[in-house]
Amino acid sequence: MKTKYVTIDHSRPLGPQVAPWGEILRAGGLVAFPTETVYGLGANGLDSEAAKKIYVAKGRPSDNPLILHVLDRDGLAPLVKEIPPLVDRLISEFWPGPLTLVLPKSDIVPTTVTGGGATVAVRAPSQPVARALITAAGVPLAAPSANLSGRPSPVTAPAVRHDLDGRVDVILDDGACRIGLESTVVSLQENELVIYRPGAITLEMLSAFAPTRLDTALVTGQGIPKAPGMKYRHYAPRVPVYLYTGETEKIRAALAKTYDSRRGYLVSAETARALPAGENIYIWGEAADAAAYAAHLYQGLLYLDETAAEEIYAEGISDQGIGLAVMNRLLKAAAYQVREVK
């Protein structure tokens, strides 16, 4: 397959630019497109055969569910059995945006999309190109991250091309994704919200609407995954990652002691000042800016992976707010290889 690479031109209307790719999606093709979180690999979410192409292109296990992308509540309604009042309140507050809702699926949703489960994950992206593409396709778009399964999610189109060139019909380039981490995935259980995957819509934000907790098994090796990204190793570069946790100053001192030019370091600007300058250092931002870490995490992992580093040492941060999502992704990238500094 020859993959087309299309750069979005914001001096022109989006509709005509994405219209041909909407037709490709309706015909069962694959289109990689930007969202506010990460780039997605889209297919017709109501076409079982099209959804199967996603699993093949990514090398993704077929029991790992896909998220359906819609424009709004009206797009959600046909896909689920009901929309509870609490879910309506969440939609009013957080859609369009990086919140995925897990609800009992309707009969029109193929089990290929749900990984064999009885629930479906749905969200409404806010990114203009994503929304124009959904409109052009006229169907919900099944779209996991546009990368080879298990690798760091792409936040730029060149990263998509690196993994999926020759595997998809087209890649739409609209620059870097704003948030840089996948959406929050949440389920309603009785009157409680359960977070299956943390993201930019934080536990603290959701707690304003109902009692909210993290799922006790964000990684499970048995049964059908409850939501995308729960069962398998994710977000990992080719080389081993080691996550350093503890008090900030102690982490900084420990990383300085470990310095070796053959290692890659994913660190804050403050920690970088304690290390020799070099191409093996990736600075994600100021230490207090967890959102910057979120936005640059995957770019940093991919960059260090390409520098021929033998291993990557990553600086941990507080798990408050979006820091919870950052640490969730780092733990998975490191396969839970944590070095707690005391």
Question: 253 with 260: CB under 8 angstroms?
Answer: no
Annotated binding site: 37, 60, 64, 69, 119, 123, 143, 145, 153, 183, 197, 235
Question: How large is the C-alpha radius of gyration of the chain?
Answer: 20
Residue with tokens 């297919």: 43
Annotated binding site for L-threonine: 37, 69, 123, 143, 183
Annotated binding site for ATP: 60, 64, 119, 145, 153, 197, 235
Q: For residues 240 and 335, what is the distance between their CA atoms, to the nearest angstrom? A: 8
Torsion of CA 35, 200, 112, 166, to 10 degrees: 40
Residue 209 gets which letter from DSSP? T
Other CB atoms within a 10 A radius of the CB of residue 92 amount to 9
Write the secondary structure of 80-143 as one string of H (helix), E (strand) and C (coil).
ECCCCHHHHHHHHHHCCCCEEEEEEECCCCCHHHHCCCCEEEEECCCCHHHHHHHHHHCCCEEC
138 φ/ψ sector (left φ>0, alpha ψ -120 to 50, else beta): left
Q: Measuring CA to CA, which residue among 55, 338, 101, 293 is closest to residue 196?
A: 101
**The amino acid at 33:** F
**The amino acid at 264:** G
Question: 321 with 274: CB under 8 angstroms?
Answer: no
Residue 254 gets which letter from DSSP? H
Q: Please, which residues have CB within 8 angstroms of residue 304's CB and are 6 or more apart in sequence?
A: 237, 239, 264, 265, 266, 280, 282, 312
